[in-house]
Structures are given as structure tokens and as C-alpha cells.
Chains A and B, each alone.
Chain A
Amino acid sequence: MTTTDTRYTRADFQSGQEVRWCPGCGDYTILASVQNFLAELDVDREKHVFVSGIGCASRFPYYMNTYGMHSIHGRAPAIATGVALANPDLTVWVITGDGDGLSIGGNHLIHALRRNVNLKILLFNNQIYGLTKGQYSPTSELGKRTKTSPAGSVDYPFNPVSLALGAEATFVARTIDMDRPHTTEMLRAAYEHRGTAFIEIYQNCNVFNDKAFQLLTGRQERDANRIYLHPGEPIVFGADNEMGITVGLDGAKIVKVADVGMDSIAVHDPAKPNPGVSFLLSRLSHGPTGPTPIGIFRQVQRETYGDLMNAQIEAAKERNANASISELVSQHGTWKVE
């Protein structure tokens, strides 16, 4: 295991494969953010593994000059779990989408989150099936008209952050493809988190679901709708931070700071053992149809599955040094035939 002294550039993380997303796709921005972040991070390139499922987002590993596997629809969290448990020295990234991770792969996603395997899961949420050309996804809004829902979807959507919090995740965050500094900040926090880190990335599909996140990305709208969560600070937003969030038994509420006073505004604490308040914050918007929190919802320490598993193996090896198959069989009871 060697460490390189050379500082990487983004080019070191480009695989040379032609990137084949549609021009203008949000995936390009995310790819650039990840490549730049890894160059900055200065961790040996061969220690990164990108595992994806199926979908537009899942082509991601092909464009990364790291180890990677483009796997099966929905199964990336399971396969990545195997990689991470086999070699704890690796940083294993899961690239998935709203269809891949929340529909066909929902089961693997929730179990990876609860187990707290050391995985960094980036869920590109564009609220549509892109690779199959425009069918509603498990995050598409109710009533959405697509080729498979010509009369409007009757399929109530998931809120990915709420789902992750409910699945016992230890790190849950949300960011936006267009906000590269914030994406980088979230990537770094996820990288530094020991355990499963889950980031929902709002990603614009400019072909099949353009402007789904207009409220958060439009020049006119974004200041009024992005609620940045900063640990230890009151949750305020708006062009002049004139708006804020209060939290009570009846939920999180959007208020005018002037109406309630700064002392009544909730102070963000993602490290709270109880995920209750984080969950209330996640309910402020179900899909970006109004002011939406961006940032780290939850960040707590819990032993990882891999550490617990390896501790058991090391303890067993210590108790039974030089284990041999013959010894194993003889413990079972043997007899001799002369």
C-alpha cells in the first residue's frame, strides 16, 4: 500500500471513455464534481471503487478512471457491500438513481443503510425513468403524465431522505447537481463518515423531466426555496435570511423570523441520536414543490458492519491460532480402521 505524493488533477480520474449522457444532463455536473473532489482528496486512485446498477446515472463508473462495476438493476448496494466487506481499505461508492435505488433495488438500499456498511451512496434523483425514455419513477409526483401514466400517475412517491432516515441510516444528506460547492461539501462529509453515507442529489433530466427542480435552481426562485442546513446554526433562508423553521410536535414549519423571533427558530443538529427532528425537516417538502432543506440531515456514529464482523473474526483467530482442517474434523469425532 503506497501513497502517492503527486497531487491528482481531474484528468487523472477521467477514464477516456466517451461520456454518452444527453447534452445538458445534470449527470455531467455531478461527474465533474466527483472527479474534482477525488483529485482534491489525494487518496490513491486505486483505492476507489464505483459500483452502480442500471439507468442513466449507473453509466457513471465507466467514466471514472478507478476500479468500477456497472452491475444489475437495483443490486449495486449488495454488490458494493461485498466489495467493502472483502477489503476495508477501499472506499466504495454506490451510484444509483431513483428508479434503480428506490424501485427495483429498494430492498438492498434499506438494508445497506441499516447495516451501516462503509459505503458512500449517491442517489441521482431526477424523478423520471430516463434510460427507458420517460416513464414515471417512485419519486415522480402524483398526477405526473408520462408514457405509462397518460392519465396522470396514481403512484404516491417516496421521499428519499425520509426513507433513508427511517431505514436507520447514520448519514443522510441532500444536494443539488447545479450547486457544485455544496455537492463537494457533501461528498467530503460522506467520505469522512465511517459507515453508510446516503446523499440524494437532485439531478435535472433535461430531456424527459426538464426543470423538475426549477424552484431550487432557477435564478428567480432559488433563494426563496433553498433551505441550507448548517450544524449548530438556526435554520433560516431567503435572500435576507428573513424566513426560518420552527419545530414542534405538529411538525416543522416555515415562519417569518420577524413573527416568532430568532430564539424560536430551530437550531440544526444532525448529530442528535434521535432522528425525529431530522425526519420532520425532511417532511417540509415532498419533492421540491416549495422551500426544501439542503445539506446534512443526519450524521451520527455507529459501529460499522465491517468493523463488527472483522472484530469477531480477529477474536476467533486469536482463540484458535493455527486452525487446521484436520483439527476441525477430529473435533467432530473420528475413529481409526487398521
Chain B
Amino acid sequence: MQEETLSPPEPPEQLDRVVIRFAGDSGDGMQLAGTRFTETSAAFGNDLATFPSFPAEIRAPQGTLAGVSSFQVHIADWDILTHGDQADVLVAMNPAALKANLREVVPGGLILANEDAFDDRNLEKAGYEKSPLSDGSLSGYHVLTAPMEKLTKIAVKDSGVTGRAVLRSKNFFALGLISWMFNRPTEPILDWVKKKFGEDNPVAKANLEAFRAGFNFGNTTEEFHHTFEVAPAKLPPGEYANITGNQALAWGLVAAARAAGLSLFLGSYPITPATSILEEIARLKHFDVKTFQAEDEIAGVGVALGAAFAGHLAVTTTSGPGVSLKGETLSLALMTELPLVLVDVQRAGPSTGLPTKVEQSDLMMALHGRHGEAPLPVLAPASPSDAFEVAREAARIAIKYMTPVILLSDGYLANGAEPWRIPDFDNLPDFDISFATEPNGPDGEFLPYMRNEETMARPWAIPGTPGLEHRVGGLEKEALTGNVSYDPDNHEFMTEQRAAKIAGIANDIPEAEAEGPDEAKLLVVSWGSTFGAVRAGVNNATVAGYPTAHLHLRYLNPLPRNLGEVLDSYQQILIPELNRGQLAAVLRAAYLVPTVSLSKVQGAPFMANEITKKIIDLIEDAS
């Protein structure tokens, strides 16, 4: 087929935004279709945000509700904040995908169904008695169908792919059809396929042919003739890349090691949804990084602590269950006052919980989940791209203050993508670090626990340095000498010193600044990945006549030094969290302020509408 025939026949309808959700069996390649659509939209210049959602099982039973995997992408010609509360378009590859996702579709939305999969067997597996495509139950939606499997089979017949493998290309058929419908540039997709599989590979040929067949089906089928276009977004000028939170985190850690002039050492154990950070850094060996896949979570942080002692920028990555296991080593890192970054990509818990779903329920564990008096700095990124800067900041604090730092990401940030305006890497500030090389004591001795007057950090004297031989360990340290001490006053003194060191970091971080109209009496306080939905919800409420302010916290410990004053200047405080009110408990304890919690623990992110509705309810109740 000729590329020229790929142009649409009539001018497309202009949209400022659209939300598309690809849904199918977990083996149907929906994550791939969604990612390709995202990448081509990014290259086209749309602003975007994504929400991949998949079962924990690699291949759950085919055709069942449990096996449904989806990928939602929101594209816009303006600067958007969320992946979209509901989908305008649902691509349903089978009845289960339709059933599991229908409530995520806006009333009147477009449903594009793979009619070949709506046979009796699949309908029964999804719990439909009759086909929803013909029984009138979808009358509130605009339904289009395509025989995706039949046409894919015809399209790929000369590709060399045979048997069951033929139908694997049907995701490319769907992608081709949607790409036609939304006037996407096809080159990035076609190039990717050729690069990924090799131009002469039968799989590449099959995917390309299926894609073209889908595109042409739209072009030549009467009922698909209405097409849409979302123009490029007017984002601030600069160079952009589309990245996920885990990618940004991995690169931020590499950048931090560069800024510090240190080698990066990552000790980790595979765990969803943190694993891809280890995978990404493992392939960056040319950056002088060492990755170590340990025998367990405990060893993952153990090797990192050993590397920190020996002078590397040490990191361990995990998710909630792993943090439980690493707690003992975190306490040792705190006692030995060595720099270490622990990344917790939170997932829904407790226990194994919902490993692939989002939650913010590890905040209390990050703040308090260690034996003894063991305060640590805790930071959380607000968006996938923000993870780059927060990773750098966590490393900066760890090194400057000689302390473990916890970075709380989550499953939504980890896998979700957004365009990232690439910073000028060459001009990012370097970290000022120096290893101890000379004795620091009055009598020419080395005092490993003599503190820096400004930061209260102890010197970092690494093994191999002549004359500074010293021992660290978990037993209480005597001030200055670091010798073992059972002295009660010394224990109290050292406990206070360790706490004061962490509290003092408040002087080294920005003050809290609420954003919103001056007349706002309600402040919404949020942290972590809920930023986009909360900011959008606050903006919507303000536009609807309910002026509201928003404060998003990057630093959870220590909290910004002026936070109490900011909270006191509002009449109402709303704290939406994907947990049962953990930040709310922290702020109430710290500042004795009344707060209202909006809790959600459904393994799903907030929708902007949920925030707006709660704001309006609160303001109405107060007036």
C-alpha cells in the first residue's frame, strides 16, 4: 500500500484535549499500543499524561475481568495536569475489557470495539448474557465496531508470521485505526517497529501491515469518516522528552552522582513497581555506576550501606514490603551517620496488597517505621518528571547531612509518563562534598563524631585514608570519639543531636508557599503523586466560584519552617490523600490545626472531580 493514501478525506474536527483508553487482555499488547500512541503524540507536541493499569499476574486467565489491562492517555493542546478523570474514547479489545472499563468512559463517549472478540465464549467469560454491542445497553455511547481479528489475519498473511502469532498484531490494527482517527503522525510508530524488531523480521512486517490495515480501515470505512485533531500544546519553549517517574528517578540518581563527583552504587532486589529503576540503572554502566541485585531486600540495603561507608553515593530501591525489611539497616545507617537514599515506590498494601496499584500509605512508615528515636528526611516527587529533581535533592541532603533519606514515589508516578522540559544538565549545581583527609581533633587524633557547626554532619572518612582509621557501628556512640558509650547522658545528648541535625534541614529547604486567589479561605494540602489531580481540582473549584488555595509539599520531614503560619492563615484545611489520612495526622500533631481528610484507597489515583466536589461541599457547609 502507498503512504499517500494514508491522508484523511475530510478536515478533522479540532479538539483541545482528548482522553483515550486502550483496554484488552493482559496479553493483547495494550500497554505497548498506549505507549506508542503516547510517544507519537509527544513527538507531535501535545502535552500529555498517562495512566497504565495492569493486573499483577503476567497472564491472568484470557478473556476474564481479572485479566484486563488498560492504558489511558490524555493529550491536549494546553498544559494539562492529569491523565483525565474519564476517557472520551475506549478501545475495547474484548467483552471483559468493555465491562471493566465502561464506568471510566464519559457519557456519550466513543467506544471502539473489536467485534470479533464478542463471541459467546468471551461474552460468557465477561458475564454478559447478550452482546452489549447489539442489546441496546450502550445507547448512551457512540459505538463503532471493527472486525479487528479478521482484518489483521488478512493483513499479515504475507508477513511470514503464522499460526496463533498472527493475532498478536491486532493491537497494531487498533493503534492504526486510532492513529487515523486522531490524525497522528505515523512515522514515529513505523520507525519504532522497524527499529525494535528489525526491518526484515516477520514480526515487524506483521505489525506494520496490521497498523496500515487499521489506518486504512478508518480511511475507507464510511462510519469512521469523522476524524479529530489535537494541536500541539503551547508549552514553554525548550527541549522535551516523554518520561516515566521511574526513568526520571534513575536519571536523577545518575545526575546526582555526577554532581557529587561520586560513583553511584545501587543495591536492590526486584519488587513491583520499583524494579524498572534497577533495570534502567543496570544498563548505564558507562556512567560508572554499580548495580547489585541482592539475595533479598535486607542485603540490598546492606550492600548499599557498605558502599556508602566506602565512599559511594549509595542507593537502595524498593516498595513497601521491602521498606519493612530494610528498617533495621536504616537505623544502622542513621546511627553510623552515613549517606544513603532509600527509594520507596509505594504500592497499595498492607502485605502484598495490590502490587501494581497506587497508594500513599507508607508515609507513616517512612516517618516513624524504625526502632528507637530515628528521624530521617522524607521527600516525595509530585509528578513523573519531578522525580528527577527530587532524586537529586534526596542525594544532596543525604551527603550534606550524612544521613539516610527516604524518597517516597508511588506506582502511579513510576509508570505514568509526561513531557519533561529537559533542564540544562551542564548548569545544574554540583554538590559540595569532601572526604575527610586529616585528623580533626585537638591532639591530632581523628574524631569521627565531631560535627560540622553549620550542618551538624560528621566527617565522611572512607576506608583507605591513612591516619583516620575508625570504627562505626550500631552501639551508641560517644560524642566526638564515636567510641562505644553506655553513658545515659551521652545517649540522651546523641539522640538529641541526631534529631536536631534532621530538624535543621528545614533551614536548607524552601518555605511553603500556597498558590491560589487571595480571597481563598480554604487551603488544600497535598503531597506526592496526587499533585496533578489536586491542582486541577482546585483550579476547577476556583473557576466555578469557590476560590481555593493549594499547597503541595515536597518535604515531609522536616516540614517547611513556615508551614504552621501558612496553615494558620486559612479557615479550612482539606488534605486529600491516597491513604486513611496520614499527612493529616502529622500536621494535626505538629501544628494543632483542624483538618478535613479526603481519603481514597481504591488502588487508583484521585480524579480532579473528586477534589472539586469535596472543596465545594466544604465551602458550602461553612457558609
Interface residues of A (CB under 8 A from B): 1-2, 15, 17, 44-47, 49, 51, 54, 61-62, 64-72, 75, 78-87, 89-90, 107-108, 111, 309, 312-313, 316-317, 319-320, 323-326, 328-330, 332-338
Contact residue among A64, A69, A78, A312 (Cβ-Cβ distance under 8 Å from B299): A78
Interface centre among B242, B298, B303, by most A CB within 10 Å? B303
B467 within 8 A of partner (CB): yes
Q: How far is the CB of B292 from chain A (nearest CB, A)?
A: 7
Bound together, the chains give a CA A71 to CA B305 distance in angstroms of 10
Q: Which residues of A contact B290 (CB under 8 A)?
A: 85-86, 309, 313
Verify A313–B265 contact, CB threshold 8 A: no
10 A-B contact pairs sorted by A residue (CB < 8 Å):
A17-B484, A46-B463, A78-B294, A78-B298, A81-B303, A87-B310, A108-B299, A323-B284, A333-B43, A333-B241
Q: Is B296 an interface residue (CB 8 A)?
A: yes
Known: A46-B466, A67-B470, A323-B286. A335 touches B299 (CB 8 A): no
B residues near A330, Cβ cutoff 8 Å: 241
* Complex CA–CA separation, A317 to B232 (angstroms): 38
CB neighbours of A54 from chain B (8 A): 474
Residues of A within 8 Å of B303, CB to CB, are 78-79, 81-82, 85
Residues of A within 8 A of B302 (CB): 71-72, 75, 78-79, 81-82, 108
Q: Are B45 and A72 in contact (CB under 8 A)?
A: no
Q: Are the CB atoms of B299 and A80 closer together than 8 Å?
A: no
Given contacts A61-B471, A337-B45, 17 further A-B pairs with CB under 8 A are A46-B464, A46-B468, A64-B471, A69-B472, A69-B473, A78-B294, A82-B304, A82-B309, A83-B306, A83-B309, A85-B292, A86-B311, A324-B425, A325-B254, A325-B258, A333-B42, A336-B239
Closest chain B CB from A95 CB (angstroms): 12
CA distance A163 to B267 in the complex (A): 26
Between A and B, how many residue pairs show CB distances below 8 Å?
Answer: 203
Query: CB distance B472 to A86 under 8 Å?
Result: no
Complex: how many Å from CA A45 to CA B469?
A: 8
CA separation between A317 and B332, bound complex, in Å? 34
Contact, CB under 8 Å: A336 / B267: no
How far is A86 from B311 in the complex, measured between Cα atoms in Å? 8
| CB-defined contacts of B329 to chain A, threshold 8 Å | 72, 75
Determine whether B287 belongs to the interface, using a CB cutoff of 8 Å to chain A.
Answer: yes
Query: Closest approach, in angstroms, between the C-beta of A70 and any C-beta of chain B?
Result: 3
Asked if A317 and B240 sit within 8 Å, CB to CB, the answer is no
Q: Which residues of A contact B254 (CB under 8 A)?
A: 325, 328
Given contacts A46-B468, A82-B302, A83-B463, contact A70 B475 (CB under 8 A): yes
CB within 8 Å of A: which of B540-566? none
Q: A46-B466, A111-B295, A337-B240 are in contact. Are A69 and B258 (CB under 8 A)?
A: no
Interface residues of B in 245-289 (CB under 8 A from A): 247, 251, 254-255, 258, 263, 265, 267, 284-289
Q: In this assembly, does B187 line the interface, its C-beta being within 8 Å of a C-beta of chain A?
A: no
Residues A2 and B242 in contact in the complex (CB < 8 Å), given A72-B474, A82-B314, A83-B307: no
Asked if B251 contacts A328 (CB within 8 A), the reply is yes
A86 in contact with B484 (CB, 8 Å): no
Known: A46-B463, A46-B468, A329-B251. A86 touches B306 (CB 8 A): yes
A328 CB contacts on chain B under 8 angstroms:
251, 254, 284, 287
Whether B311 contacts A325 by the Cβ 8 Å rule is no
Cβ contact of A81, chosen from B39, B306, B312, B425, cutoff 8 A: B306
Complex contacts, B471 vs chain A, CB 8 Å: 15, 61-62, 64, 67-70
Residue of A nearest to B424 (CB): A326
What separation, in Å, do the CA atoms of A228 and B208 have in the docked complex? 72
B310 touches A86 (CB 8 A): yes
Q: Which residues of chain A are within 8 angstroms of B232 by Cβ–Cβ distance?
A: 337
In the assembly, what is the distance between CA of A325 and CA of B425, in Å?
7
Given contacts A71-B474, A86-B263, A333-B242, contact A317 B285 (CB under 8 A): yes
B240 adjacent to A313 (CB under 8 Å):
no
Interface residues of B in 215-260 (CB under 8 A from A): 232-243, 247, 251, 254-255, 258
In the assembled complex, which residues on chain B have CB atoms less than 8 Å from the CB atom of A44? 466
Chain B residues contacting A332 (CB-CB under 8 Å) are 241, 243, 247
CB distance from A319 to the nearest CB of B (A): 7
Report yes or no: B236 in contact with A72, Cβ–Cβ below 8 A: no
Bound-state Cα–Cα, A131 to B238, Å: 63
* Cβ–Cβ contact A319 & B473, under 8 A: no
Min distance, Cβ B437 to any Cβ of chain A, angstroms: 11
Which residues of the other chain, B, contact A47 by a CB distance below 8 angstroms?
Answer: 463-464
The CA of A329 and the CA of B240, in the complex, are separated in Å by 9
In the complex, whether B571 has a CB less than 8 A from a CB of chain A is no
The answer to whether B426 has its CB under 8 Å from any CB of chain A is: yes
Separation of A104 and B415 alpha carbons in the complex (Å): 36
